[in-house]
A and B are shown apart, each in its own frame.
Chain A
């Protein structure tokens, strides 16, 4: 199975500042035939189910604020929250769907 490793495990960011979450896969999740990265990001707030934020490494779901940006290719990916808001406090997970389905361990984002 492809192992997904997120870093850091947690981070505290001031309101309005940038938060950066990294996700690394043990093998490439870029499918050459369609040139797509099979990588998604989820947000899970306390007491709620996860919510899909981004698919195909960089495509935001409808209704997701544009301060959330996914980037990267191959084995290295990043979720950036450009200006952290109070409502962004959550645990964020990456997930690959290139081969079977596996999640990263999660990154907890808090307010400094």
Chain B
């Protein structure tokens, strides 16, 4: 069974940093692109960032470009999101998501349950 388990969320002050992690199991992690998608409380879905299987292609939403950094460790079956200079508008549930492709971005095939990030003073 494919499983994605996020961790690292919490309450953080504006301007500070947080690092999210996602532990993947049940599939060959290195064969798939991966993403972070977020959902603000009571709002819709927003793609945050994606990374291809070999980390050669990385993409970011304009809203986080220059502040967030996605990375992966295929040996550890793990995906990461380093979030710097956090703002109140970054408050959301962050989902780790498996793509159905390896070297480009398609649709969001399997979702984790999310980790909540709250940015507030």
Contacts and interface: CB of A to CB of B under 8 A. Distances in A.
Contacts of B76: none
Interface size for chain B: under 10, 10 to 19, 20 to 34, or 35 or more residues? 20 to 34
A97 B111 contact: no
Interface residues of A, number: 20
A101 B114 contact: no
Nearest to A101: B47
A28 B70 CA distance: 29
A49 B95 contact: yes
Nearest to A61: B109
Interface in A60-112: 93, 95, 97, 100-106
A49 B114 contact: yes
Interface in B18-43: 35
A50 B100 contact: no
B47 A103 contact: yes
Interface in B88-121: 95, 100, 105-114
B11 interface: no
Given A93-B45, A101-B50, A102-B47, A49 B111 contact: yes
A52 B44 contact: no
B111 A93 contact: no
A58 to B, nearest CB: 13
A101 to B, nearest CB: 4
29 contacts: A1-B62, A38-B106, A40-B108, A42-B45, A49-B111, A49-B112, A49-B113, A50-B45, A50-B95, A50-B108, A51-B111, A52-B107, A52-B109, A55-B106, A55-B107, A93-B44, A95-B108, A97-B105, A97-B107, A100-B105, A101-B35, A101-B50, A102-B47, A103-B45, A103-B46, A104-B44, A105-B44, A106-B44, A106-B45
Interface of A: 1, 38, 40, 42, 44, 49-52, 55, 93, 95, 97, 100-106
